[in-house]
Amino acid sequence: MTIVLLDPVRPTQVPVDAVEFLGGAVQFTEEVPVKVRWLFSGTAAPDDVDAVLVSTDRTNPDVQDRIARGERVVAAEKLPGDDVIAAVQLMDRLRSVGGWEAQQTHESLRGYLLEETYELLDAIAAGNLVDLREELGDLLLQVLFHSRIAQDAAEDPFDVDDVAAGLVRKLTHRSPHLSRTDTGPIDIVEQERMWEEKKASEKARGSCLDGIAMSQPSLALAQKVIGRASKAGLPDELVPDGLRVVHIGVDHSNGGDSAEDALRRRVLDFAALIRNAEASACNAGVAPGEMTALDWIEHWGLRG
């Protein structure tokens, strides 16, 4: 006889190879939904009669018993992303049935997101692929969790499909090489240039600092701010030495502030100077993103 294994994520989609076996008597394992059973034209067979067995669970004892007897198996093709769909459905159940998951907010999950990110970075640094796979799963949970929370928002709700669709649009727009017809090597420098060009066309930025995650660790933030400003034409001499050297120690005159906090304050002060200079230049008729080194010097320390 024959075993037909349906995709548990898409149980109504029957494999083409299985159609010829489903016109007669069929049996179902207990987890197959009733609405799926009604889709089959054959008649339900008693348990003591040999018939085609339809299931969505390869590990079901009845399925395993038949496989052990050598019966033919016709299975739905597993598609990339099927397990992601299963994870989305599980997250929905966890959020819907109440308990801890139902009480969480975007704000309450901030610490978990940060912790999981650092654990993923540790796995990458260690080169351990087993740990890397697990930590990627933990980070995926955060994406699913935040997306599910946003689904219930009173204003501007979205779900995980909206997140994925937005990503597809972004990658497609910023990756014109996807439509290449030739098979020659890709110029990486040109690819990066086109990426930045497409990115700039998506968002009208009023400052070279727009889009920077200001909550990131202060050392990374300093590097990002300096890099963006330098790329926008800021002269090197306008970058304060206090952003280039970090002193580790206790500043008793400032209440024992940490080096992290001290550097963050300096970076934020520097960022404010950059935005003020940009605003002043804009008021003088210099378009955003077109400031020269002389423009930066002329408007440095001024407010728009």
**Average pLDDT of the chain to the nearest whole number:** 88
Pairing outcome for strands 26-28 and 52-55: parallel
Both tokens of 62, joined, read: 């009845």
d(CA 288, CA 3): 65
Residue 152 CB burial class (10 angstroms; 0-12, 13-18, ≥19): exposed
- The kind and range of the H/E element at 2 are strand 2-5
d(CA 157, CA 148): 10
The predicted model scores a pTM of 0.66
- The kind and range of the H/E element at 146 are helix 129-151
pLDDT value for 198: 79
pLDDT in tens, 202-258: 776 789 999 899 988 899 999 999 999 999 999 999 999 989 888 776 555 555 568
Which residues have CB under 8 Å from 281's CB, separation 6+?
291, 295, 296, 298, 299, 304
d(CA 267, CA 219): 9
Give the distance between the most distant pair of CA atoms in the chain: 91
Classify residue 77 by its DSSP letter. P
Which 3 state secondary structure label does DSSP give 26?
A: strand
Average pLDDT of span 169-176: 87
pLDDT value for 188: 85
Q: Phi and psi dihedrals of 26, rounded to 5?
A: -135, 155
Q: Could you give the C-alpha distances from 119 to 112, 115, 132, 133, 137, in angstroms and in order?
A: 10, 6, 9, 11, 11
pLDDT in tens, 79-88: 888 889 989 9
Sign of CA dihedral 289, 295, 300, 302: negative
pLDDT value for 284: 93
pLDDT interval class at 8 (50, 70, 90): confident
pLDDT in tens, 272-303: 999 999 999 999 999 888 899 999 999 999 88
Residue with more model confidence, 183 or 54: 54
Beta strand segments in the chain, E: 2-5, 26-28, 52-55, 72-75
Which 3 state secondary structure label does DSSP give 74?
A: strand
d(CA 288, CA 304): 13
pLDDT value for 73: 93
Sheet order of strands, 2-5 included: 26-28, 52-55, 2-5, 72-75
pLDDT value for 168: 93
Is residue 59 over pLDDT 70? yes
pLDDT value for 255: 53
Listed ranges 15-29, 75-89, 148-162, 281-295; the one with the highest mean pLDDT: 148-162
pLDDT value for 16: 87
pLDDT value for 40: 75
Which 3 state secondary structure label does DSSP give 90?
A: helix
Sign of CA dihedral 42, 47, 49, 55: positive
Q: Could you give the C-alpha distances from 255 to 104, 200, 250, 258, 275, in angstroms and in order?
A: 35, 42, 9, 9, 29
- The kind and range of the H/E element at 75 are strand 72-75
Is residue 91 over pLDDT 70? yes
